[in-house]
Chains A and B, each alone.
Chain A
Amino acid sequence: MSEPRTGRRHLLLGASALGLGALAAPPVLGQARPFAGQTLNGAAFQSTFFEYLRAFFPEFEERTGAKLNFNTQAFPVYNQRTDLELSTRGSALDVINVTFIYSGRWIGAGWLTNLSEFVNDRNRTDPAWDAADFVSGAQSAMQDARGNTYGFAWEAGAMLMAASRADLIDQAGKAMPTTFDELIAACDAVQGKENMSAFVADQLHHWNWIPYLMGHGGKVFRDPPGNLTPELATPQAIRAAGWYAELLSKYGPSGVLSFSDDQAMRTQIAGRANFRTQAITWLVPLAKHADSTVKNTVRYALMPAGPQGNFPGSNSHGLGIPVGSRRKELAWEFIKWALSKEMLNRIVETRGYPSVCRRSVITGEAFKQAMTLNGQDVASLYLQVLELGGRSGYMKYRTVPVFPQVGDTINRGIARIATRQQDAQASMRQAQQDAIQVLQRAGVTLDAN
């Protein structure tokens, strides 16, 4: 038996073959722990999704060899910090939440990385990851006019109505309201019953009020995103503002104008307030939260409709990569992992997360089971709202780059009416004037009248 001879020529041939193989194979897949020693810095606002996802972080670290440093802050704090960080094109963050109301601004300013390049490169993304599976309504806020994608949605907020004590509504001989008038009648019927306020809302009026504005036939901007002339002092807007401010001041608990999202949710969970119209994320805990005292009495419905139709708010938040990040490949690995079908299904199955944006997950059995709340099929309500928002495009107003400024004037306008500082007409005229000033300062061209 002779030993095979290993000459220089064989070695060179072998090395060449290995080199060619390495060039042909996807570079990331070719390494067992391709990001060993790297740290991924991420940030988002506090949400149950990241709370659930955090439990799986060790799996990602084990698979990639990278360390995850992911921080969450309160919603306004996160937005302020990230806005500032992005504006400097800094490299402190590698993966961030793309906040709905800031998405137009961040994408328009060129502060986010174009993820279409990552999706279309099969060396970076396996086609089985299936980017088209994300619900188009949720993804629309993450894209620019050319159709490039800058984020993938992890949450779709669909505004519903929840009554924490539907039994009191039944006792009063009322049904779940389907119109604005019925909502007022139902609030009248249950106000003060068992020391409960009939209605509760958080202080983000620029989110909560808009469906009521549109239901009354009003608009925020004349024709967004092309024409951003504000429409806050029209008769419809004035009527809607007065109506909503009355809803808050007459039926809301003491101090409702300073309530945060969480505070409003806890008021319902504790059985101190009955109706709320808000994104599903804040309503599901009424049926699922360990501390909830209303698990057996909660009931869900679509937002009530106004004289001009039904316009429940819908939004989405996504994961994106700042343009200044130095670890874009690792950040993309994280996004793919966190928003894969497998991971989202696991989060739905183990935690009952209600706001997923992948169609295959939403239509799955696990989601339907998780969203059957107090015997009610809430999953179908959720899909109805997403479809409403996606079909008519009435949510376009919200992703224009200047919405944060105009939203602030709306918040203050509603607060002035609810606290009787001004009547609806005077307050909304001032809001309109303030909005014009900030829009002009932002360089937006407005119609003359």
Chain B
Amino acid sequence: MARGGATRARDRFYALCVAPSLAVLAVITLAPAIYLLVTSFTPLDLTRPETAWNFARPFENYRQMPADSRLMNSLWVQAKLSFWTVTLQLLIGFGFALLLNMRSRFLEALRTVFLIPMVLPPIVVAIIWKVLYTPDISPLHWGTTLLGFTVPALITHPDWALTAIIIADTWQWFPFTMLMTLAALQMMPQEMVDAAKVDGASAWQMTWHVTLPFLKGVLLVAGLFRLIDSIKAFPLIFILTEGGPGSVTEVTNYYSFLQAFNFSFLGYSSAITVVMLAATVLMSWAIIRLVGWGQHGD
């Protein structure tokens, strides 16, 4: 009885300790999300104040979405961008982690060098690539011209503009997956490696049957982080292409930004953002269900 009372008192104490943090979290996370949701049910247009709390047709923004060809195109662009950036970052990050998973001073120094793109401010990364992709000032274009062939201006070429963004994003973020994979590799039990060797596993078999299953959980987490981040892609697109040429690189996030801050359609932009948020949550949940979570230790 006395023990039960002590437990309850302890729980109350813990709850009291956590309450301020939860309250702050609610204010800074939940309140804006609720406001976003509420706004999405209005035609809020900053140039027309009377639209602010107009709930006469609450689902009008959502009704308009399927007929908005630019929005539909932006979803497809988003899917391509996310697929290629996440895939490339996982593959390159995993590959580099395997190569760098050795004890050597040189490799340790190299690891630090590889981390530089990831710690640069996104806007700096965007400017670096803007310089590289602009023909009249680019060392890349200067070099290829010296070699006798001409590379088109990638960011204004409809076949290359999205690829240019994918290359820049992959360059910036593959160190993240490399870092996470490398950390997991260094915690891999030596017995597993030794047992595989005793069984006569080749290097390829070792990677496929031992290392990859062990890293599955880490790769999933890294992939999820990168997927969510790819949906938030903004600085590279803003600086390099502004969504163009035409709408070739206009992802949903950027389109939503244009609607809100260039055109003042905050209601419509909120509705797009709500759908994006719901899609991201659903997609993350589906991936976790599909691939499994925390199975790597088994």
Contact = CB atoms under 8 A, between A and B. Distances in A.
Contacts, number: 105
Interface residues of A, number: 40
B147 to A, nearest CB: 16
Q: Main SS of chain B's interface residues? A: loop
A442 B261 contact: no
Which size bracket describes the interface of B in this complex? 35 or more
B191 interface: no
Given A108-B47, A109-B47, A419 B246 contact: yes
Interface in A371-428: 401, 404-405, 408, 411-413, 415-416, 418-422, 427
B135 A433 contact: no
Given A258-B153, A412-B247, A421 B158 contact: yes
Contacts of A413: 246
A430 B70 CA distance: 10
Contact of B153 (A255, A415, A434, A437): A255
Instruction: Identify the interface centre among B45, B46, B47: most chain A CB within 10 Å of its CB.
Output: B47
A441 B64 contact: yes
Interface in B93-132: none
A441 B268 contact: yes
Nearest to B49: A109
A4 interface: no
A80 B259 CA distance: 12
Contacts of B241: 258
Contact of B136 (A253, A401, A408, A430): A253
Given A258-B134, A443-B45, A83 B155 contact: no
Contacts of A442: 45, 47-48, 263, 265
B292 interface: no
Contact of B156 (A255, A263, A272, A433): A255
A402 B60 CA distance: 20
A441 B242 CA distance: 22
B258 interface: yes
Given A87-B264, A255-B135, A415 B245 contact: yes
Given A83-B261, A408-B258, A442-B45, A418 B245 contact: yes
B152 A254 contact: yes
Given A105-B47, A415-B245, A419-B246, A434 B70 contact: yes
Contacts of A405: 262-263
A367 B288 CA distance: 70
A443 B69 contact: no
Q: Main SS of chain A's interface residues? A: helix
Contacts of B155: 255, 258
Given A253-B135, A408-B262, A441-B265, A419 B69 contact: no
Given A108-B47, A443-B45, A272 B136 contact: yes
A165 B134 CA distance: 24
Given A415-B244, A441-B268, A80 B261 contact: yes
B157 interface: yes
B262 A404 contact: yes
B199 interface: no
Interface in A257-276: 257-258, 263, 267, 272
Nearest to B64: A441
A443 B48 CA distance: 9
B68 interface: yes
B16 to A, nearest CB: 38
A235 to B, nearest CB: 22
A157 to B, nearest CB: 21
B66 to A, nearest CB: 12
Contacts of A203: 242
A220 to B, nearest CB: 16
B165 interface: no
A296 to B, nearest CB: 23
A257 B158 CA distance: 11
Nearest to A110: B49
Contacts of A109: 46-49
Interface in B137-188: 141, 150, 152-153, 155-158
12 contacts: A83-B264, A87-B264, A108-B47, A254-B141, A256-B156, A257-B153, A408-B263, A415-B156, A416-B247, A430-B69, A433-B69, A438-B263
Interface of B: 43, 45-49, 51, 64, 67-70, 133-136, 141, 150, 152-153, 155-158, 241-248, 258, 261-265, 268
